[in-house]
A and B are shown apart, each in its own frame.
Chain A
Amino acid sequence: MNEKIGVYVCECGPNIPDRIDIDKVLAEVSVIDGVKTAKKFGLLCSPDGKNFLEEDIKKEELTHAVIAACSPRDHEQTFMTVAVKAGLNPYLTQLVNIREQCAWIYSDKQEATRMAIKSIRAGISRVKHHLSLTKKELEMNPDVLVIGGGVAGVEACLSLAGTGRRIYLVEKAEELGGTVSKLGALIPHQGTAVDLFGEKIDRVRAQDDIEVITGHDVTSARGFLGNFEIEIEPQGDSSEIRNLQVGAVVIATGFGLLSSEHLDTNNGEKNPNIVSALEFESMLAQNAVVGKDGKPPRSVALIHCVGRAELGYCSKVCCLYMIKYAHHLKSMDASTKVTSFYTDLCLPDKSDQAYYDEAVKQGIRFLRSDAPSIQSAEGQVTVEYSTGGGKSASEKFDLVVLAPAMVPGEDTARLADMFNLPLDDTGFFKEIHMMLDPVATPIEGVFVTGCAMGPRNIPETITQSQAAAGKILGSLIPGRKLEPEVKVSEVRADFCTGCQTCLTVCFYAAISFDESRGISVVNEAICRGCGSCVGSCPSGAIRAKHFTYPQIYREVLEILS
């Protein structure tokens, strides 16, 4: 063939020549078909070395370059950059590891030399089958759709505002505010008044670049990062579909609460002395904390952890808001007997324990008990609780407040389906990587913030919305184009049988099925290049750019010859 391959062996100082007979290597590889030149150099990654390489590539008019040196994890990028400078496509190079995985592990010089020659031959054979690959640039839309107008959605909008993009805030209810606007008060060290959210909502409405669309549902979503097409319509009215084109989506649809009907309702009749958290918030908001008799309760039981054992997770916020209720009850009437029944006290934020300690000082009782039982009895409620060692006790209360577990919001499953998002086993949205990317999903450009992703408190929700905004601000920059991964997978239409196996293995939903042609198509904009689809294809129809079968097979053949 017409290749002119340059082979460069880096000595890495004494590291490699001490253990590998470099001259022997050069002698062997220089006679390989296609090799134009084989040279050694002291330290190729040094400024001198890089200059030498660049000059030599140009001088020898090379079509490919194989560098035998350290690990590609160290310097693949370095030498690819040199290639570009020398006018050579960076993907027509190959870095062969003869240091970490050869010189440093084989003590016998002959063996090490043999293995080095073998890997360099493999590299040369491989590089002959490399294709020029170029970075693509994709137009993208920097606008953002935020679904859900509660504290999470509002914060996301405000964090994105004023950065040269349009933000659409779509809320299914007629009013913005979500659950937080229904709260009577916030936890002091998490924010002092619900009014503050009112201010944020006002700001959202006042911003020119934020369009607030209430009373609407999101009904369909197509596309990918930088290029989403979303349909929204007024609740229950499909005649007024509106199309939105955005580059990213932030899902902020919040949470639900486990139904406490089994505890507060008897024979279809709701007991007004047993209320769940949101009902109590409403009482607080209206300054109407009263029992069945219309009078303020003299004794209140706060039952934490309702549903915790059944659902298998702790909802994080309840201990704190129960302490909030306790404080409020005491501040309304210090003589009110307030007792909290809990399983574990969850006080993870730095100021939480101080808040709890204050509550204890105010005479609020905290009793640990697994699953206390509740029964109505003549205008009061009896709570029976365990006192340890198999014993139990019971007390009567005027009012019982329940803290039910936080559950996925009612829109979660529908939106997950629409956007191809996975749910975890609790039914909440699932992060792409729980540790390293808590607000992102496997669908690039779609973020989830706040309680839609799982139990969160308000400061965390705000942080997460800012985080989603941060990720968008960092990647969808107005005027800039997207530069997706180069080493992606590609379906060769002629070989695809339309079995769709590849769709099932793609974690990033980067493959779609073209019904009209009966073949799978890889979306290069979001493909990450893992090759799972390539490995799964029964027809071998998918090509993994830069890791093709011919390239890998050439390495195998040389290794085994």
Chain B
Amino acid sequence: MFPGADKRSGWRSGAREDQRVERALGALAVAVLAVIGLMIVTVLIKAWPSFAYNGIKWFGPGGDVEEQLRAMRSGTPIPGHGILYFRAWPLIWGTLVTTVAAVVIALVVSTLAAVFLSEFAPAPARRVLDPVIRLLAAVPSVIYGLIGILAIAPWINEHLISNARKQSVIYVVQLNGADLMTATVILTVMILPIMVAIAANTLDSVPVSWSEGSAALGVNRWRTIWRVSLRMAMPAIAAATVLATARALGEAVMLAMVSGGHAFAANPLDGLTFLFEPVQPLAATIFRESGGNTVGPLAHTMYAIAAVLLVSATLLSLAGWAARQPLKRYGVR
């Protein structure tokens, strides 16, 4: 026997060390969990007064949001209402229109781009496109905003909005190129890369034998992609869409810069002018009012908006996570 072998000290201390490491790492994970829980709870608590005062009508239309925010900033309530009076519909409408439009466009474009990347692109093109997509995903939103406000908005203002169109709505709102269309276009470019990356990654992992089987049945290559590869990748595409929606929902800086800076509910009944009317999404509103402090009615309202964003983003993230679960069957993460 080796000296000391009977004590088995090495084994013992190793096991104890193992347990210590497991506990420490587990504690770390639980701490992060606690922080996230704390975030949801504190934001909701801070938001409560605004929801309690306005009730379900918080989400509804009613009056001018700019006026309501101004009243909270100055501390003199709008006649006939309390200081916390707030109707968020124009902001919610702005968020919905920009997000839905951007996500729908991005869904179509990203699916085509992903098919191109994983099926048609020659190897050198793929080697270029992968970093390009990563780059597009990494460009800071403030740069997108800068390009939007200094290049795209003036161009739209000059070339797409006629003077007659400006005159037609001059008593309601001013058209200057920073509008729904600019916001949607840039938002689409911002969320595209994530969707392309996830979809292309999943298409890459479709088992080759499936496509071969389809080809053996005499199906052409496009139909194979459409019927076999894309169908398998469907959960991933759904998950990517959901994640991109969460990203679009939370985008504040770029939208605050290019969407017009006026809390106006763009009206689809205005025909084409609708595209050129300013909007102000929820996140952009928080960003604009960020000079306000942490107390008072304005803060409660801002935290109420944050709570709405947080709850929707959380639900979307969890939905995306759930949507990806079927892929685990195929061994795709």
Q: Do the two chains belong together in a single complex? A: no
**A contacts, CB < 8 Å to B:** none
